[in-house]
Amino acid sequence: MLRIYLDYNASTPIDPAVAAVMKPFLAEDFGNPSSGHWAAAPAKAALEKARGQIAALLGCEDDEIVFTSGGSEANNLALKGIYFARRGSGDHIITTRVEHPAITEPCRFLESMGARITYLPVDRSGRVDPDDLNRVITSRTILISIMHANNEVGTIQPIAECARIAREHGVLFHTDAAQSVGKIATDVNQLGVDLLSIAGHKLYAPKGVGALFVRRGVTLEPLLHGAGHESGRRAGTESALLAAGLGKACELARDMAPMDRVQVLRDHFWRELQERFGNRIALNGHPAHRLPNTLNVSFINCIGAEILKGLDGVAASTGSACHAGRIELSPVLEAMGITREVGMGAIRFSLGRGTTREEIDVVVEQLNGLPTTAFMTLSASNPSK
Ligand SMILES: Cc1ncc(COP(=O)(O)O)c(C=O)c1O
C-alpha cells in the first residue's frame, strides 16, 4: 500500500538518533534522577544534558527549562501558572483568535475563575496587528499569549514586535512555539519572550514530552504540587527516557539545513498545483511569513475531506471538521475571514525531513487525476450530513 505522510504538523516520526539515546533508559539506566546513589547518576546526567540541549536551541539558561508532558501542559502551566501567581495584581489576559485549543481552553477555564480574556483579531493572512495589541493592554493585564506559528496555515506572528510592546507595559509575554521550534529560529532573547512552549512530538522527539521556558525571575504557581522536582515548578519524577529524547531532538534541530530543503519542496508543490488548478485553488496563510513546511491550500467551492478521501495513501489534514453531523469551518480559517466557499475546501499539507520530491509529484498527479466527483461542490453536498 502506498503511504505518503504529509501531516508533520500533526506529529513527526521519532528520529533514529533520538530513539538511540533513549534506549538505555528502557533497560539498565532505570534509576530515579533524584536519588543520591549510583543508580541515579545516568538518569540525572541525561536529564541535565537534555536541559542544556534545549536551552542551547532556545538561547537561554539551563535552569530556565521546565520539563512537561508536552505542548498542552506547557501552555497550561504558562497560563494558569502566571494567572494564579499574579491574580493579586491583575486579571486580564490577551491572546488571539487563532490559537490552538491548548491555549483557548485554559483561557476559557480561567474565565470561569474570574479572568478577563481579550482575543485579538487577525488579518486575512492570519497575522495580528501589534497596534491592536498596544490598544487593548490595560493596567490589569498580567499576561499576553500569542502563538509563534499557526498549526493550520503556518502563519508566523510578529512576536518580537508584540513582546517589545508587552515589555514597554511591564506585562509578561508567552508564546506557544509548538509548531515553530525546529522549523524556524526560536531564540528567546531575539524574540524577547518571558515564556515559550515546546512540544516534543512536533520535532522528531516522542509524544508525552515537552518543555516550558520560564525566564529567570518569573515565578508561577505549579499545576502539579508534590516533591520539589523541576525547582518546584512541576512535581513528579522526571523521565530521563523522554527528556533525553527531547534533548537530542533539540540538538538536531539546531541544523536548519533540512528545513531549507523542505521549503524548496513545499514551494515546488505549490507551483505544480497552481499550474494544474490555476484559479480553482487559493493559498491560506501568509505568503512569506509562514512556516517553511506548511502548505494550506483551498480547492474553491469543494470539500477538502472529499478530495482527501479520493487520494490513495496520502496522510494530510483538512481545514474543516465534522461537528454534530455538520461540516464546520475551522475557527482559525473563520477568524481569518475566509468564506465557507474557500475554507471548506482547505487541505493542510505539512512536509518534513522525510518528504521526497517523488512523493510530492505523486500527490500532484493523484490530485490532477481525481474524477470530477471528488471535487464535489459545496452546493451539491448535503449540509446536514
Ligand atoms: C500550536 C500548538 N500548540 C499546542 C499543541 C499541543 O501540543 P501537545 O500535543 O504536545 O500537547 C499543538 C499540537 O497540535 C499545536 O499545534
Partnered with residue 4 across adjacent β-strands are: 314
Contact call for residues 147 and 175 (beta carbons, < 8 A) = yes
Contacts of 223 (CB under 8 A, 6+ apart): 73, 76, 77, 80, 81, 234
Q: Is the pLDDT of residue 382 over 80?
A: no
Tell me the C-alpha distance between 367 and 361, whole Å. 10
As a dihedral over the C-alpha atoms of residue 306, residue 310, residue 316, residue 317, rounded to 10 degrees, the angle is: 10
Tell me the C-alpha distance between 284 and 290, whole Å. 10
Q: How many other β-carbons are positioned within 10 Å of the β-carbon of residue 79?
A: 29
- The pLDDT score that the predictor gives to residue 1 is 84
Per-residue pLDDT reduced to its tens digit, 14-41: 999 999 999 999 999 999 999 999 999 9
Contacts of 111 (CB under 8 A, 6+ apart): 117
Segment (H or E) for 240: helix 240-253
Tell me the C-alpha distance between 332 and 76, whole Å. 20
Contact call for residues 218 and 197 (beta carbons, < 8 A) = no
Task: Work out whether the CA dihedral 56, 59, 60, 65 comes out positive or negative.
Answer: negative
Q: What is the mean pLDDT of residues 73-93?
A: 97
| Ligand 1 center to 39 CA (angstroms) | 34
pTM above 0.85, yes or no: yes
Q: What DSSP character marks residue 10?
A: T
**Residue whose C-alpha is closest to residue 29's, from 208, 246, 241:** 241
Tell me the C-alpha distance between 313 and 326, whole Å. 25
Question: What is the average pLDDT value for the chain, to the nearest integer?
Answer: 95
Tell me the C-alpha distance between 64 and 52, whole Å. 10
- The pLDDT score that the predictor gives to residue 270 is 98
Environment class of 280 (CB within 10 Å of its CB; exposed 0-12, middle 13-18, buried 19+): middle
The closest-lying atom of ligand 1 relative to the alpha carbon of residue 200 is 10
Segment (H or E) for 218: none
- The pLDDT score that the predictor gives to residue 384 is 42
Per-residue pLDDT reduced to its tens digit, 293-348: 999 999 999 999 999 999 999 999 997 666 666 778 999 999 999 999 999 999 99
At residue 380 the predicted structure's pLDDT band, cuts being 50, 70 and 90, is: low
Strand positions, DSSP E, 123-194: 141-145, 172-176
Q: How far is CA 267 from CA 31, 211, 276, 287, 354, in A?
A: 47, 31, 14, 11, 16
The verdict on the CB of residue 70 being under 6 Å from ligand 1 is yes
- Tell me if residue 203 falls in helix, strand or coil: coil
The closest-lying atom of ligand 1 relative to the alpha carbon of residue 10 is 14
Question: Which amino acid residue places its CA nearest to atom 4 of ligand 1?
Answer: 71
The verdict on the CB of residue 106 being under 6 Å from ligand 1 is no
- Tell me if residue 259 falls in helix, strand or coil: helix
| Ligand 1 center to 202 CA (angstroms) | 8
374's grid cell: 471528488
DSSP letter string, 49-110: HHHHHHHHHHTS-GGGEEEESSHHHHHHHHHHHHHHHHTTT--EEEEETT--HHHHHHHHHH
Q: Is 322 a catalytic residue?
A: yes
Q: How many other β-carbons are positioned within 10 Å of the β-carbon of residue 354?
A: 14
| Ligand 1 center to 337 CA (angstroms) | 23
Tell me the C-alpha distance between 179 and 10, whole Å. 9
- The pLDDT score that the predictor gives to residue 383 is 47
**Residue whose C-alpha is closest to residue 18's, from 214, 201, 227, 152:** 201
Catalytic residue among 107, 162, 302, 322: 322
Environment class of 226 (CB within 10 Å of its CB; exposed 0-12, middle 13-18, buried 19+): exposed
The verdict on the CB of residue 297 being under 6 Å from ligand 1 is no
Segment (H or E) for 200: none
| Ligand 1 center to 275 CA (angstroms) | 33
Q: Is the pLDDT of residue 385 over 50?
A: no
Per-residue pLDDT reduced to its tens digit, 132-170: 999 999 999 999 999 999 999 999 999 999 999 999 999
